[in-house]
């Protein structure tokens, strides 16, 4: 898929050259962190930083296990035009004792610079390296990433794709109010701001409802409609698909929608790609596969489609001198299935295999181009613990945690204070069966399975130095993403 023109490639090359010159003096690795909403981006970054700064338990992170990490600390971020990731705010929310809660997800791009001082391996390395690496963490919504294919679509092509998807189950049920309104519109009628606003509002509601746990649908571009950030209320995100029948006449509803779509692509999507996305060295994609599996095969198919689109967007390849100067290539991509703490460890391998199955076709089609890929089932902050419980003379594997206030199971509603034991069940042994099982109806639109509170960590007056968080395979993820860069 071609997103760039020759002019764009020249700009990417100039940026790459500037980054390369800076990296010689001040070695820096740019790590992209993305995932669709509620996949755990904020929690992942907060736990990553806190565990490294405070010496968490990271036995599978080789530089740390080999005691070559001297210290890790935050520094001012290098890009003044990107909001800072509010690490301290998120950490305080997680460590607030009885009032602890999961941090609020960010809905825009943000950045944080973590600097690691380390002991290089080998005599030669110790003589030529300053033993310092900056990791610039770039947090951006996966919904924005799914917008990149729009760079190759005209407005009419986007309308055709979006309407085709909306008329298929289960989207046709979710989209009914918008589709009913669409039938009353004539694309060749005179442009009308109130009509455009109404169509955009109904279309946006449809996109939001697609994301509810009951449906858990993933492919919902344009991403800024769901996560507008500072564009809320802007004409740039006030448009919608139309039934297209003729070439738009000037001043028509069709022409107005098309103009705003083209502005969205040129002023929002392309700058994101050129200014941020094309500069990444490493990438982790966080995936909430459990919610999709719980919602049923349609949601799983949709997740597979979204991951395929995401993989098409990456400029991946091996690291070479030419690539470093003429434009970055992402040389390592990690796909991580989150919320592993919602399962007993005996199902973790199955969760990982399901994630591999969802991505493997896209990997075969796109080719690796020398890039490395890996898969992991993880929980950046573990909210449960495991225990074997006897019931009716049978030993059953259970997870134990404190449900969030208001969570229900059967007829019981929890107050967010008392632990419960839950039998999470097993994932299928064969990953392909997630496409064949009957969809499960969530008990309500918001909760398909139990949500647990963050773990209670012994407090410290200085939350920045508070004890590190328990996790599942966070260390394995860190080792793949940048362990080699600390050698």
Condensed to tens digits (0 to 9), the pLDDT of residues 26-56 reads 799 999 999 877 899 999 999 999 999 998 8
Q: What percent of the chain has pLDDT over 90?
A: 55
Q: What percent of the chain has pLDDT over 70?
A: 85
pLDDT of 481 over the 80 cut: yes
Mean pLDDT across the stretch 228-233?
Answer: 83
Question: Which residue has better confidence, 480 or 487?
Answer: 480
pLDDT of 382 over the 50 cut: yes
Band of residue 443 on the pLDDT scale cut at 50, 70, 90: very low
Dihedral, 477, 479, 481, 483 alpha carbons, nearest 10? 170
Question: Which residue has better confidence, 467 or 441?
Answer: 467
* Residue ranges of the chain assigned to CATH 3.40.50.300: 6-140+276-382+471-486
Say if CB 93 and CB 466 are below 8 A apart.
no
pLDDT of 15 over the 80 cut: no
pLDDT for position 11: 59
pLDDT for position 358: 93
pLDDT for position 1: 44
Rounded to whole angstroms, how far apart are CA atoms 328 and 380?
Answer: 28
pLDDT for position 439: 41
Nearest in space to 315 (alpha carbons), one of 26, 13, 112: 13
Question: Which residue has better confidence, 124 or 345?
Answer: 345
pLDDT for position 383: 95
* Total count of residues recorded for the chain: 487
Render pLDDT for 140-171 as a digit per residue (tens, 0 to 9). Answer: 888 888 888 898 899 999 999 999 999 999 99
Say if CB 47 and CB 151 are below 8 A apart.
no
Region class of 473: left (phi > 0), else alpha (psi between -120 and 50), else beta = left
Mean pLDDT across the stretch 307-334?
Answer: 75
* Fold of the domain spanning 6-140+276-382+471-486: Rossmann fold (3.40.50)
Return mean pLDDT, the chain.
86
pLDDT of 374 over the 90 cut: yes
Band of residue 468 on the pLDDT scale cut at 50, 70, 90: confident
pLDDT for position 116: 97
């Amino acid at each position: 898929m071609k997103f760039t023109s020759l002019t764009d490639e020249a700009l990417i090359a100039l940026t790459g050259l500037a980054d390369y010159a800076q990296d010689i003096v001040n070695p820096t690795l740019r790590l992209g962190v993305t995932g669709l909403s509620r996949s755990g981006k904020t929690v992942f970054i907060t736990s990553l930083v806190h565990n490294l700064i405070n010496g968490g338990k990271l036995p599978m992170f080789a530089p740390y296990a080999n005691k070559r990490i001297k210290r890790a600390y935050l520094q001012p971020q290098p890009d003044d035009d990107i909001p800072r990731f509010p690490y301290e705010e998120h950490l305080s929310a997680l460590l607030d004792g009885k009032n602890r809660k999961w941090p609020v997800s960010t809905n825009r791009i943000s950045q944080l610079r973590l600097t690691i001082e380390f002991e290089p391996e080998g005599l030669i390395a110790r003589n030529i390296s300053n033993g310092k690496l900056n990791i610039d963490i770039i947090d951006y919504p996966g919904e924005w990433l799914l917008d990149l294919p729009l760079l190759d679509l005209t407005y009419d092509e986007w309308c055709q794709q979006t309407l085709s998807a909306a008329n298929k189950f289960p989207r046709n049920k979710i989209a009914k109010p918008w589709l009913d309104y669409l039938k009353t519109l004539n694309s060749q009628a005179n442009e009308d701001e109130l009509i455009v606003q109404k169509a955009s509002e109904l279309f946006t509601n449809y996109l939001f409802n697609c994301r509810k746990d009951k449906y858990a649908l993933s492919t919902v571009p344009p991403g800024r409609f769901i996560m507008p950030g500072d564009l809320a209320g802007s004409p740039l995100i006030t448009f919608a698909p139309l039934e297209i029948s003729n070439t738009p006449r000037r001043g028509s509803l069709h022409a107005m929608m098309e103009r705003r779509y083209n502005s969205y692509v040129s002023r929002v999507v392309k700058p994101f790609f050129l200014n941020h996305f094309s500069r990444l060295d490493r990438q982790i994609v966080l995936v909430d596969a459990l919610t999709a599996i719980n919602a049923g095969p349609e949601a799983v198919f949709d997740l597979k489609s979204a991951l395929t689109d995401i993989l098409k967007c990456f400029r991946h390849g091996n690291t070479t001198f030419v690539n470093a100067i003429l434009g970055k290539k992402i040389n390592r991509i990690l796909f991580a299935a989150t919320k592993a703490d919602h399962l007993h460890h005996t199902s973790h391998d199955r969760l990982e295999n399901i994630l591999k199955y969802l991505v493997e076709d896209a990997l075969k089609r796109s080719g690796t181009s020398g890039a490395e890929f890996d898969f992991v089932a993880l929980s950046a902050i573990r909210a449960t613990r495991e225990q074997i419980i006897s019931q009716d003379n049978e030993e059953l594997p259970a997870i134990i945690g404190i449900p969030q206030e208001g969570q229900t199971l059967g007829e019981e509603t929890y107050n967010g204070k008392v632990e419960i034991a839950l039998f999470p069940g097993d994932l299928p042994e064969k990953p392909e069966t997630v496409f064949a099982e009957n969809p499960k109806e969530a008990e309500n639109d918001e909760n398909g399975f139990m949500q647990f509170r963050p773990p209670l960590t012994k407090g410290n007056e200085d939350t920045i130095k508070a004890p590190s968080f328990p996790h599942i395979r966070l260390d394995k993820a860190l080792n793949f993403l940048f362990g080699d860069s600390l050698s």
